[in-house]
Amino acid sequence: MIAPLRVIARLGRYTLNGVSRTGFAARFFLAILLHSGTAFRRFGLTIREIYFAGVLSLIIILVSGLFVGMVLGLQGYETLETYGSEEVLGVLVALSLVRELGPVVAALLFASRAGSAITAEIGLMKATEQLSAMEMMAVDPVARVVAPRFWAGVISMPMLAALFSAMGIFGGYLVGVVMIGVDEGSFWSQMQAKVDFGEDILNGVIKSVVFGVAVTAIALFEGYDAPPTAEGVSGATTRTVVTSSLAILGLDFILTAFMFRGVS
Amino acid sequence: MENLVEIENVTFGYGARPVLKGINMTAKRGQVIAIMGSSGCGKTTLLRLIGGQIKPSKGIVRVAGQNVAELEQDGLYRLRRKMGMLFQFGALFTDMSVFDNIAFQLREHTELPEEIVRDLVLMKLHAVGLRGAANLMPSELSGGMARRVALARAIALEPMLVMYDEPFAGLDPISLGVIGNIIRRLTDTLGLTSIVVTHDVQESLKIVDYVYFISEGVIEAEGTAEEMRASGLPFVHQFVHGEPDGPVPFQYPAPPYAEDLGLSL
Amino acid sequence: MSRAWLDLWVGLFVVAGIGALMFLALKVGSMNTVNKADSYQVIAHFDNIGGLKVRAPVKSAGVVVGRVTAINFDDKSYEAEVTISLDKRYAFPRDSSASILTSGLLGEQYIGLEAGGDSLKLANGDRVKLTQSAVVLENLIGQFLYSKAQEGAPQ
């Protein structure tokens, strides 16, 4: 075959692979939803996974939140001071965190901390035939292994995002009020006046739930679809982090366009 | 004796590459059947067909009178509760202790109180001689112990059929003898039917009732252990006596050596 | 990890998460610097408070001496009624004047308190009579444009 033809053939093969993978992913996602009964009937299974996905991600989320908030306080002060409006520092820190940084950065951290762990775990279970063994024992691995992890991720994500935001606001307060000396009253009062519960906080929570669904589903799918070899699992882990990071940022743009269009 | 497993004229291939070409096979109740052949000849595929994890492209697989390929998920899962399977490297659940591994099916499929589960698990562990290892994690077990735990797990629900995928692979001679011994003893005492997929001829010929030799996706020979030892068929002879070259060539199919090296005259 | 520990940790996690959400939702007022006990309340009426918010600072000579605690509308005089809570440490003459000012060009609005000459001091529940409303930028620009138009009009 001549070279250009080969390129076209390869392009076609990639496209077909991509489309059929998408189809498999959709079917997999549907299967998770259909087999979610076990995850709630035997909530102990889900609690276990909340521990691994949520509780073990706490440290990185809290520490990152604190630092992000402190940086926001510092940078925000530098800029606002030029216009003599340091009082709105609280608003700047809170809105940035609640609307964007909280859900997005927490989801990115969640993808690299918990998402990669989920992929590696499921991938290894597949490579060592544990999933096959479960199937041969008449236990559906999607219901027993996959669905509890999915719901654990979906439940953990908004909690982590809220903790990230709260920690960040505290960090902004530390730098802005305690260190630099912005007026404490106006820091909080301006924040209270400008941050709306429905418009800002609730939308932030909705975002984090969507990210939770996306990251966990991607991580589970990559693990389930991983070739049962060492390279297969490590490749799948990398793909989880890359794909879910892109998905988070893409979804964030779409959600933001829907939620905050025409708002301030 | 009635047939528990019947495989009729089964053909199967992954993609375009056929793995099995028209296999006929039966396993009677209470027997230990061995399926032998060189690595990669489709032995494991055969077990997956019996377990219903894959469907044959042609032919019928029947277990206890039911056509496995035609069962819905519910029926298939009901049937699988009566099957046990020992995977090649045990496939123990790495996040559970030995005890929980064996209790897994009891807890998933029955409503038994925890004291009874405990007694049953200890009985199974005792049968494979590992009652003392109940609280170890799978990562703390040696290969032979892991295989024995997996065996205890496979018989946890007292199945009628147990399938063994390479139970002898990678074991030291003592563990080898132990595993073979347990397979024979469990089959006789529990009234099981065992299907052993292996390439370990010497060890399996000691314990099996009937042997099938598979090569290139077809059955080359079959018979009892004695018949196989005495067989004059070149393939069986090569296999049983472990000769490096014979009907199964040493060389993977390739163009002539000289031509490949550019020495064609 | 035993089952009980697992449940405990996950329980703590969920409580912390919900706590963080509550914190975000309520933006806790516990950071309030003005304590009710160490302060006294006075009332001031304004024609227009502009963008003044509850908890905005009250400053005298640039020093924060109190906070706005409530803003209401008086439907008899059609004025804004602003309740100010002042620090007990600072006493102000009764004829002090309050004006709504803006810090910087775009900054927040606060109340400036200018001391008068009366020997009697403001007490709890008193009213500040002399007030000056907020400057509303739009009105200012409107006036400016209007006067420009007047100037440029043909005689």
In CATH, what number is assigned to the domain containing residue B58?
3.40.50.300
C21, C105, C109: best mutation site toward chain A, by most A Cβ within 10 Å?
A: C21
Could you tell me the sign of the dihedral formed by the alpha carbons of C62, C67, C72, C77, in that order?
negative
Count the Cβ atoms, other than its own, within 10 Å of residue C94: 17
Q: How far apart are alpha carbons A23 and A26 in whole angstroms?
A: 5
Residue A254 confidence class, pLDDT cut points 50, 70, 90: very high
What percentage of chain C exceeds 90 in pLDDT? Answer: 6
Using the predicted structure, report yes or no on whether residue A260 has a pLDDT greater than 70.
yes
One domain, residues C113 and C63: yes
**Contacts of B151 by beta carbon, 8 Å cutoff, 6+ apart:** B86, B128, B167, B179, B182, B183, B186
One domain, residues C37 and C88: yes
State the complex-level ipTM. Answer: 0.81
Residue in this structure with the two tokens 């024979």, named with its chain if needed: B184
Using the predicted structure, report yes or no on whether residue B58 has a pLDDT greater than 70.
yes
Specify the pairing of strand B17-28 against strand B32-36.
Answer: unpaired
Smallest Cβ–Cβ distance between A162 and the set C21, C32, C67 belongs to C21
Mean pLDDT of B73-82: 87
Q: So what's the pLDDT on residue C104?
A: 66
Residue in this structure with the two tokens 């691995």, named with its chain if needed: A141
**What is the rounded end-to-end Cα distance, in angstroms, of chain A?**
59
Q: So what's the pLDDT on residue C34?
A: 45
Nearest to B211 by CA among B5, B12, B70, B37: B37
One domain, residues C69 and C120: yes
Residue range C95-105, pLDDT digits in tens: 888 988 887 66
Q: Average pLDDT of chain B?
A: 84
Residue range B95-133, pLDDT digits in tens: 889 999 999 988 888 888 989 999 999 988 988 888 888
One domain, residues C99 and C83: yes
Looking at the 3D structure of chain C, how many domains does it have?
Answer: 2
C near B: at least 3 beta-carbon pairs less than 8 Å apart = no
On whether residue C54 sits in a domain, the answer given is yes
Looking at the 3D structure of chain B, how many domains does it have?
Answer: 1
B76, B80, B151: best mutation site toward chain A, by most A Cβ within 10 Å?
A: B80
- Residue B123 half-sphere exposure toward CB, CA atoms < 13 A: 12
**Could you list the residue range(s) of the whole structural domain that residue C16 is in?**
1-29
What is the three-state SS of chain B?
CCEEEEEEEEEEEECCEEEEEEEEEEEECCCEEEEECCCCCCHHHHHHHHHCCCCCCEEEEEECCEEHHHCCHHHHHHHHCCEEEECCCCCCCCCCCHHHHHHHHHHHHCCCCHHHHHHHHHHHHHHCCCHHHCCCCHHHCCHHHHHHHHHHHHCCCCCCEEEEECCCCCCCHHHHHHHHHHHHHHHHHHCCEEEEEECCHHHHHCCCCEEEEEECCEEEEEECHHHHHHCCCHHHHHHHHCCCCCCCCCCCCCCCHHHHCCCCC
Question: What predicted TM-score, i.e. pTM, was given to this entire model?
Answer: 0.76
Q: How far is B211 from chain A (nearest CA, A)?
A: 24
Domain boundaries, chain A: 20-256
Residue range B188-232, pLDDT digits in tens: 888 888 999 887 787 788 888 888 888 878 888 888 888 877 777
Q: Confirm if B151 and B175 have CB atoms less than 8 A apart.
A: no
On whether residue B81 sits in a domain, the answer given is yes
Nearest to B1 by CA among B212, B210, B205: B210
Highest mean pLDDT among A3-7, A9-13, A237-241: A237-241
Q: So what's the pLDDT on residue A148?
A: 94
Q: Average pLDDT of chain A?
A: 90
Question: Out of B32-41, C32-41, C129-138, which region has the weakest mean confidence (pLDDT)?
Answer: C32-41
What percentage of chain C exceeds 70 in pLDDT? Answer: 88
Residue in this structure with the two tokens 């056509």, named with its chain if needed: B67
Mean pLDDT of B67-74: 85
- List of E strands, C30-102: 39-46, 57-60, 63-74, 79-87, 97-102
Q: How far is B113 from chain A (nearest CA, A)?
A: 16
Q: What single-letter DSSP state applies at residue C150?
A: H
On whether residue C149 sits in a domain, the answer given is no
Using the predicted structure, report yes or no on whether residue C29 has a pLDDT greater than 80.
no
Using the predicted structure, report yes or no on whether residue B56 has a pLDDT greater than 80.
yes
Smallest Cβ–Cβ distance between A51 and the set C6, C21, C110 belongs to C6
Residue A178 confidence class, pLDDT cut points 50, 70, 90: very high
SS3 state of residue C94: coil
One domain, residues C51 and C93: yes
One domain, residues C59 and C79: yes
Note which residues in 53-82 of chain B have CB less than 8 A from chain A. Answer: 53, 73, 76-78, 80-81
Residue A261 confidence class, pLDDT cut points 50, 70, 90: low
On whether residue B265 sits in a domain, the answer given is no
Q: So what's the pLDDT on residue A217?
A: 95
Cβ contact C107–A83 (<8 Å): yes
Residue range A38-97, pLDDT digits in tens: 888 888 889 999 999 999 999 999 999 999 999 999 999 999 988 878 888 888 999 899
One domain, residues C77 and C107: yes
SS3 state of residue C4: helix
What percentage of chain A exceeds 90 in pLDDT? Answer: 66
Q: What single-letter DSSP state applies at residue C33?
A: S
One domain, residues C54 and C130: yes
Q: Which residue of A has its CA nearest to B102?
A: A137
Which subunits count as partners of chain B given 3+ CB pairs below 8 Å? A
Cβ contact B92–A130 (<8 Å): yes
**Phi-psi region at C73: left, alpha or beta (left = phi > 0; alpha = psi -120 to 50):** beta
Using the predicted structure, report yes or no on whether residue B157 has a pLDDT greater than 80.
yes
**Could you list the residue range(s) of the whole structural domain that residue B139 is in?**
3-260
